[in-house]
Amino acid sequence: MNLNNLVNDAMQTIQKDGFVEQVIKKQLETTIKKVVEEYFGTYGDFRKELENHVKEQLQIDMKKLGIGGYNLMVLNEVKSQLNAALHIQGVQKIKENIEQMLVGIKPEYKLSELIEAMKKDENDDHERDGEKISFILEGEEDGYRHIYFDPESESRDSWGSEKSKYRYKYQLHLDKEGHVYDSKIDGQNLSNNKDIMTSFYHFEKLMFQIFATGAKVILDEDEVDTYYGEEY
């Protein structure tokens, strides 16, 4: 018996059947699986590398974190919310004040009635009895009328010089229908006054009401009494 021939024949048969390839493939699969498990496993190199990488990315420099800026941002937001709340409440308060301020206002007033109201307010103690007020009524060709009046005499002002009508304490300007479209108190235009809710009382309040509602002023200038008297 030739042993070499038997071995050679057996090897050829194994080769033809693909046995060697199968063994090699199986061993490679086993080896690769083991390597992957070890690399990606609980204690593998991949886990260690991944942990180190994540730690590096999570490093935070507290000095550069800007906590102070964050606090400022929070403070600004609180301030913004507070201002919004105050604005809402402020608008409501102004609305309530305006409603109260305009209660009882009439749609029209006589000029003589307004002059008497001013005189009463200025001469409550009757110390001005017999004195004269300042009063000017002007008319324009286009129908607009302009009224200037002052509790002081028209001859002199507090500086001793002749008083200009534009320095009279009260001014009313009427359109062609007699409605107030502009008004001033002490040279202050009521449409630009920011303190109208707190600074007007008595006759000044009436002046504001007339302006705010655009009330009509009936020009009965012949009935206007420019002197302070004892009876009102």
Nearest 10 degrees: CA dihedral of 28, 33, 38, 40? 130
| Stronger pLDDT, 85 or 174, i.e. the higher one | 174
Pairing of strands 180-185, 170-174: antiparallel
pLDDT at 131 (0 to 100) = 92
Segments making up each domain of the chain, as ranges: 3-57, 62-101, 108-223
In sequence order, the 6+-apart residues with CB closer than 8 A to the CB of 213 are 102, 105, 107
CA separation for the pair 182, 217 (Å, rounded): 12
- Check whether 31 has a pLDDT greater than 60: yes
**What mean pLDDT comes out for the span 75-100?**
64
Q: Report whether 118 contacts 170 (CB < 8 A).
A: yes
**What mean pLDDT comes out for the span 7-19?**
68
pTM for this entry: 0.55
7: pLDDT confidence band, cut at 50, 70 and 90?
Answer: low
144: pLDDT confidence band, cut at 50, 70 and 90?
Answer: very high
**Mean of all residue pLDDT scores within the chain:** 77
